[in-house]
């Protein structure tokens, strides 16, 4: 199949309709990456915050590339093993959702200026994302769930990972630009934090359960 054909599968409407809402719900839930971007924006200005957002997005591409290389090698070795990865990944998403619901995120946004240059903020955000093992495991579990038969799994995972990174950078850039309002809404309002946490956890649990049930029915 040509690269164009593979890309068309990645961008297939049914895949996008399934992927984008889940990705957006997960991205909106505050975590270390968004808290760092918000902190840099509040303390050092919008430009530094946007640089941090770009660093996080770059980190996601790194994780996606690692997932593509690892899962592609696994698929070449055994299609059954790749299927096992998807099932285990669904179970991990349920676990991650339960943990999200049980453990409220703690926010510590320091408004004191650090004098960081944009390049430093970019590197720091990149390191925070790339060196977080939970992010690596998440992408290994999450992206394969949207792979469709009939095309290259590697091309599909890469396309979805890049799309996820684009959504992240759009959201976090907006977070940086509207940092003052975002700080008040996310950090100082407990109800907003709780709503975002429950939304993210529920999406993960529901998505994982749906995958498990659909696989069980088809087996």
Lowest mean pLDDT among 52-66, 100-114, 136-150, 174-188: 100-114
pLDDT value of position 57: 93
Count of CB atoms within 10 A of residue 101's CB? 15
Distance separating alpha carbons of residues 196 and 105, to the nearest angstrom: 10
Q: Quick check: 172 pLDDT over 70?
A: yes
- Tokens in use for 177? 């630009």
Q: Of 80 and 154, which is predicted with more confidence?
A: 154
Q: Quick check: 61 pLDDT over 50?
A: yes
DSSP string covering 64-125: HHHHHHHHHHHHHH-HHHHHHHHHHHHHHHHHHHHHHHHSPPP-----S-----HHHHHHHH
């Amino acid at each position: 199949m040509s690269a164009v054909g593979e890309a068309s599968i990645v961008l297939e409407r049914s895949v996008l309709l399934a992927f984008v809402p889940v990705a957006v719900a997960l991205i909106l839930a505050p975590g270390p990456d968004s808290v760092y971007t918000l902190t840099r924006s509040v303390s050092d200005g919008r430009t530094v915050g946007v640089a941090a957002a770009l660093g996080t997005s770059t980190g996601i591409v790194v994780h996606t590339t690692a997932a593509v290389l690892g899962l592609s090698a696994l698929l070449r070795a055994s299609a059954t093993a790749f299927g096992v990865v998807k099932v285990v990944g669904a179970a991990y998403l349920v676990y991650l959702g339960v943990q999200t619901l049980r453990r409220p995120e703690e926010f510590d946004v320091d408004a004191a200026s650090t004098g960081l240059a944009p390049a430093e903020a970019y590197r720091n955000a990149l390191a925070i994302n790339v060196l977080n093992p939970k992010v690596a495991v998440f992408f290994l579990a999450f992206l394969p769930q949207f792979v469709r038969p009939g095309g290259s799994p590697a091309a599909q995972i890469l396309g979805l990972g890049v799309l996820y990174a684009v959504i992240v950078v759009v959201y976090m850039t907006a977070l940086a630009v509207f940092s003052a309002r975002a700080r008040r809404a996310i950090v100082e309002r407990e109800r907003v934090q709780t709503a975002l946490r429950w939304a993210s956890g529920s999406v993960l649990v529901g998505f994982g359960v749906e995958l498990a049930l659909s696989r069980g029915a088809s087996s």
